[in-house]
Amino acid sequence: MKTSPPSGVERLRIEPERPGDANEISQLTTTAFAPMPFSDGDEARVIDDLRAAGALTISLVAVTAEGELVGHIAFSGVRIDGQPGDWYGLGPVSVAPPMQGQGVGSALIANGLDRLRGLDAAGCVLLGNPDYYRRFGFLSDPTLTYQGQPNRYFQQLALKGPPARGDASFHPAFDPP
Ligand SMILES: CC(C)(COP(=O)(O)OP(=O)(O)OC[C@H]1O[C@@H](n2cnc3c(N)ncnc32)[C@H](O)[C@@H]1OP(=O)(O)O)[C@@H](O)C(=O)NCCC(=O)NCCS
């Protein structure tokens, strides 16, 4: 029986960023966010600053069988009501424009959430489009605010125990320079 060739995403490796990946991650992030109306063009700088601060808890790359880096996702610790704990923030996440819409972003997110579970994380928060992130179980909840206000784009996923309550803040690398 003839089988169809594997699709792009089946031939991808998702793995921790490797030494020497930083520049490619930066370029990929800049290219992926450039057309997004909500982008401030600062996402690559955020990743570099998280890495420099030792705050890039999880940094995964998606690499094709040919060795091309086509996706990246970052996770870093967040504070709830100013307290560090075991909640993490997802993002930035980027997929090379020609590879978008083929499941690469979903594979990066699923792999990253599995790794967070492996770290015994309480949960994950993010700022993003609910239409995309609800498929992974993320929900906006007005009892978890962002910058002091409920925000339908600010969502959380509890991985262990109850949902987070209070006001969430990302690592200072996310602050505008
Ligand atoms: C967002 C992103 C990482 C998703 O990666 P991807 O590999 O394209 O996503 P997947 O193939 O896993 O999923 C595709 C689905 O996501 C949807 N989707 C992608 N980006 C979306 C967005 N910004 N808002 C809503 N839905 C989105 C697609 O419509 C598609 O939906 P469908 O499955 O119902 O057809 C990628 O599109 C990207 O790099 N975008 C530019 C950077 C960016 O916006 N990052 C996220 C900021 S929160």
Residue ranges making up the domain that contains 111: 8-124
Q: Does residue 42 form part of some domain?
A: yes
Q: Does residue 94 form part of some domain?
A: yes
Look at the chain and report how many structural domains it folds into. 1
For residue 8, the model assigns a pLDDT of 60
Q: Does residue 167 form part of some domain?
A: no
Q: Give the orientation angle of helix 43-52 with respect to helix 22-33, to 10 degrees.
A: 150
Q: What is the CATH number of the domain that holds 107?
A: 3.40.630.30
Other residues' Cβ atoms within 10 Å of the Cβ of residue 3: 5
Q: 3-state class of 177 per DSSP?
A: coil
CA of residue 38 to ligand 1 center, whole Å: 14
Q: What is the pTM of this model?
A: 0.94
Residue among 177, 146, 158 at smallest CA distance from 87: 158
Q: Is the dihedral of CA 147, 74, 58, 90 positive or negative?
A: positive
Mutate to test the pocket of ligand 1, among 14, 94, 100 (most ligand atoms within 8 A of CB): 100
The CB of 136 under 6 Å from ligand 1? The reply is no
| pLDDT confidence bin for 28, thresholds 50/70/90 | very high
The percent of residues in the chain predicted with pLDDT above 70, rounded, is 95
pLDDT digits (tens, 9 = 90+) for 148-161: 998 999 999 999 99
Q: For the CA atoms of the chain, what is the radius of gyration?
A: 16
Q: Which two tokens stand for residue 71?
A: 């996706």
- Using the predicted structure, report yes or no on whether residue 3 has a pLDDT greater than 70: no
pLDDT digits (tens, 9 = 90+) for 118-164: 999 999 999 999 999 999 999 999 999 999 998 999 999 999 999 99
Q: Does residue 170 form part of some domain?
A: no
